[in-house]
Amino acid sequence: MLTGYTKPLAILPFDHRTSYTSGLFGWKEPLNVEQAQSVADSKWVIYEGFKKARIPEGEAGILVDEQYGVGIIRDATERGTITAVSVETSGQDEFEFAYGDDFAEHIKAVQPTFAKVLVRYNPEADRAMNRRQTERLQRLSDFLHQTQRLFLFELLVPPEPQQLERVDKDRDAYDTKIRPRLMVQAIEELRRAGVEPDVWKIEGLDQRSDCEQVVLAAHRDGGQHVGIIVLGRGASKEHVTKWLQTAADVPGYIGFAVGRTSFWNAIVDFEAQRLSRDAAAAQIAQNFEEWYRIFNAGHQQKP
């Protein structure tokens, strides 16, 4: 049975693990104790930025990993903050549970508002892999709905080589001409297999009509209360602004989840001791507030 989620939702995601430790620190997992503590501490800086941001309670939430952010999850839960916790193994092309068959016990232990998955699913990619992913996702979807927990699904549709060939290996052309159709197809295939998120977290789109098609795919056949939020994909501020403005007034879109574009530069400067802890947190808060302002400006004009 679908629950859905229709309330405004502004998420600051910092559940990155493999890309975070390698990109920011130059380390490869597994980390030693001291390295893991450094990573966890840097995530507290991001969380401090989140808490500084002037966004209404009940709309703002965090997405963080259990591995480095369990203390943050605990603190946010005690404050009544919306929390989302990643369930997938980091840095893999194929979706697998971070804690294997113990995924349900971990979700029960941390009690997030949302259990979140990141899935790379291209309908024209390896069909056997897509089937394996779908079977795991259906299992998770069933567990979450049976236990009345919310399901946040981050969908990425990376290009296959033959798809890039069709647009002369132009990634921007793939994003505008090919990816929108594949996103709709992916949502339809996953839903037919019994994977039913309450919120889809999807890549930005340049055309309003493409946003509308995504909403149709998510809403048909009983999904009318399912929410859509826009992810940032580590893109430039200009790209993120465009995606938020395009989606904001489309019925069904309820918010955004922009992570690296919000925090990356601030954490780089903090770790290099070019910014104080407080200044880094303030910069993150300012970026997060800016996305909220941009999305809200368009959302309030919704027909």
pLDDT confidence of residue 254 = 98
Element (H, E) at 154: strand 150-156
Q: How many percent of the chain have pLDDT more than 70?
A: 98
Residue 294, class by beta-carbon neighbours within 10 Å (0-12 exposed, 13-18 middle, 19+ buried)? Answer: buried
**Does 48 reside within a domain?**
yes
**Does 1 reside within a domain?**
no
**CATH number where 285 lies:** 3.20.20.70
Q: Give mean pLDDT, residues 108-112.
A: 97
Of the candidates 263, 201, 272, the one whose C-alpha atom is nearest the C-alpha of residue 43 is 263
Q: How many CB atoms lie within 10 A of CB 281?
A: 24
**Does 3 reside within a domain?**
no
pLDDT confidence of residue 1 = 55
Question: What distance lies between CA 32 and its chain's CA centroid?
Answer: 27
pLDDT confidence of residue 56 = 97
**Does 2 reside within a domain?**
no
Distance CA 78, CA 217 (A): 36
pLDDT confidence of residue 172 = 95
- Which structure tokens are listed for 181? 């159709």
Instruction: Give yes or no for a contact between 251 and 302, defined as CB atoms under 8 angstroms apart.
Output: yes
Distance CA 122, CA 41 (A): 35
Distance CA 8, CA 30 (A): 37
Q: Is the pLDDT of residue 105 over 80?
A: yes
**Does 179 reside within a domain?**
yes
**Does 4 reside within a domain?**
no
DSSP letters spanning 234-263: T--HHHHHHHHHHHHTSTTEEEEE--HHHH
| C-alpha gyration radius of the chain | 18
Instruction: Give yes or no for a contact between 14 and 263, defined as CB atoms under 8 angstroms apart.
Output: yes
Q: How many percent of the chain have pLDDT more than 90?
A: 96
pLDDT band at 299 (very low <50, low <70, confident <90, very high): confident
Tens digits of per-residue pLDDT, 71-85? Answer: 999 999 999 999 999
Residue ranges making up the domain that contains 195? 9-299
DSSP letters spanning 161-196: HHHHHTTTT-HHHIIIIIHHHHHHHHHHHHHHTT--
Tens digits of per-residue pLDDT, 28-46? Answer: 999 999 999 999 999 999 9
Q: Is the pLDDT of residue 238 over 60?
A: yes
Burial readout 96-129 (b: 16 or more C-beta within 10 A, e: otherwise): ebbeeeebbebbeebebbbbbbbbbbbbebeeee
Does residue 30 have a cis peptide bond before it, meaning omega lies within 30 degrees of 0?
yes
**What's the chain's average pLDDT?**
97
Domain tally for the chain? Answer: 1
Tens digits of per-residue pLDDT, 152-197? Answer: 999 999 999 999 999 999 999 999 999 999 999 999 999 999 999 9
Q: Is the pLDDT of residue 303 over 60?
A: no
Distance CA 166, CA 178 (A): 9
Element (H, E) at 11: strand 9-13
pLDDT confidence of residue 302 = 55
- pTM reported for the whole predicted model: 0.97
Contacts of 46 (CB under 8 A, 6+ apart): 12, 14, 263, 267, 281, 284
